[in-house]
């Protein structure tokens, strides 16, 4: 999927509407695909007749370590809400180890340990 391109201007005589369908994934595979087989005449009509774009909400597109990493429902929410991609989950830990930032700072140990 190509990356989004930031347009400096948006000229339209029509209103722009952003709709995020949480939990709805679009896939070329039809076998076992509940979204493809669902009775959704309005959504299917919009997808066939209106300008639209689908976005990735998993993997590197939302700051995870690999494309195979699906994460949980929050990873897509975090990237969309922040309006940018930032490291999340194992990617955050991996990059902190590689950059050595994980090993910076003071260590504080408890003065006593209750057993």
Measured distance CA(54)–CA(25) in Å, rounded: 9
Measured distance CA(59)–CA(55) in Å, rounded: 12
What DSSP string runs through 51-97? -------SGGGGT-SSTT----HHHHHHHHHHTS----HHHHHHHHH
Which domain range does residue 3 map to?
A: 1-115
66 annotated active-site: no
- DSSP class of residue 102? G
pLDDT digits (tens, 9 = 90+) for 11-48: 777 777 778 887 788 888 999 988 889 998 988 888 88
pLDDT at 5 over 70: no
Q: What is the pTM of this model?
A: 0.57
Higher pLDDT, 89 or 103: 103
Number of domains in the chain: 1
Measured distance CA(58)–CA(72) in Å, rounded: 9
45, 66, 73, 90: which is the annotated catalytic residue?
73
Per-residue confidence (pLDDT) for residue 52, from 0 to 100? 78
């Amino acid at each position: 999927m190509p990356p989004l391109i930031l347009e400096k201007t948006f000229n339209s005589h029509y209103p722009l509407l952003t709709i995020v369908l949480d939990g709805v994934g679009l896939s070329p595979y039809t076998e076992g695909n509940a979204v493809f087989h669902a009775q959704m005449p309005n959504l299917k009509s919009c997808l066939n007749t209106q300008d639209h774009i689908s976005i990735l909400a998993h993997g590197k597109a939302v700051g995870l370590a690999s494309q195979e990493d699906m994460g949980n429902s929050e990873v897509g929410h975090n990237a969309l809400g922040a309006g940018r991609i930032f490291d999340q989950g194992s990617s955050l830990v991996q990059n902190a180890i590689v950059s050595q930032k994980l090993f910076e700072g003071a260590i504080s140990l408890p003065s006593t340990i209750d057993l």
